[in-house]
Amino acid sequence: MKVTMRSVLIVSCSLLSTTGAYAAGPYIGGNYSQIQYDSQEFDTDTLKIDSATVNAGFEFTDFLALEARGGVGLDEDSQGIADFEMDHLYGGYVKLGAPVGDTLRPYVIGGYTKVKGKVSADGTVAGVNYSFSDTETFEDESYGAGLDFNITDTVGANLEYMRYVDTDDEEISGISVGLRSAF
């Protein structure tokens, strides 16, 4: 994965150095996401919570943008013995897009995310008794893909899938929809 991130940075730098007739400038937006939490330790279904995220970025060209995000969890979910509640997430990302006409731009995105949440369990799985509650910070390289849709010259919408954290024990991912405005 680290090799992939280095490759993304090299491609990003080469796109940045191309002649910039596509400069789009800064943008800000908001997304509604359904965050999914999977743990290998507990024999449960995927825990799903709702969250709201604010993102801000700068498009250097039609192909390259840098973006920062911050979000909060809006609820919690319990399945079997496990419970997950997300306090917040934040991260920084490189976004590589390929415009298809004037209104559609598919993209890939990669970067780094920190997620703080409360994980708790109370019950028995395979003869092992669990009873704990702990606030944890999960952090990992992140990646995803999505589609940006231009509604007007300054307003757009997007649909995205993002894998925020993917470790041996836990996976945090999300599907989101949102709006954004360019300056």
Query: Global pTM?
Result: 0.77
Question: Which CATH number does 2-9+25-182 carry?
Answer: 2.40.160.20
Q: Write out the two tokens for 97.
A: 């897009």
Phi, psi of 109 (to 5 degrees): -140, 140
d(CA 118, CA 160): 25
pLDDT score at 122? 74
pLDDT score at 47? 82
Nearest to 14 by CA among 86, 99, 96: 96
Q: What is the pLDDT of residues 23-62, one digit of tens each?
A: 479 999 999 999 988 877 665 567 888 999 999 999 999 8
- Report, as an integer, the average pLDDT of 104-109: 96
pLDDT score at 180? 93
d(CA 160, CA 181): 17
Q: What is the pLDDT of residues 6-27, one digit of tens each?
A: 444 444 444 333 333 334 799 9
- Report, as an integer, the average pLDDT of 130-153: 89
- Provide the terminal-to-terminal Cα distance of the chain, rounded to the nearest Å: 34
How far CA 45 is from CA of 15, 38, 79, in Å, comes to 42, 8, 6
Question: What are residue 161's DSSP bridge partners?
Answer: 145, 175
- Report, as an integer, the average pLDDT of 55-82: 89
pLDDT score at 109? 97
Q: What is the pLDDT of residues 144-178, one digit of tens each?
A: 999 999 999 889 999 999 999 998 888 899 999 99
Q: Residue 69's pLDDT band (boundaries 50, 70, 90)?
A: very high
pLDDT score at 11? 42
Q: Contact at 8 Å (CB) between 85 and 49?
A: yes
The residues near 103 (Cβ < 8 Å, ≥ 6 apart) are: 149, 150
Question: What are residue 55's DSSP bridge partners?
Answer: 29, 69
128 pLDDT more than 60: yes
Question: What are residue 85's DSSP bridge partners?
Answer: 76, 118
Nearest to 42 by CA among 111, 115, 129: 129
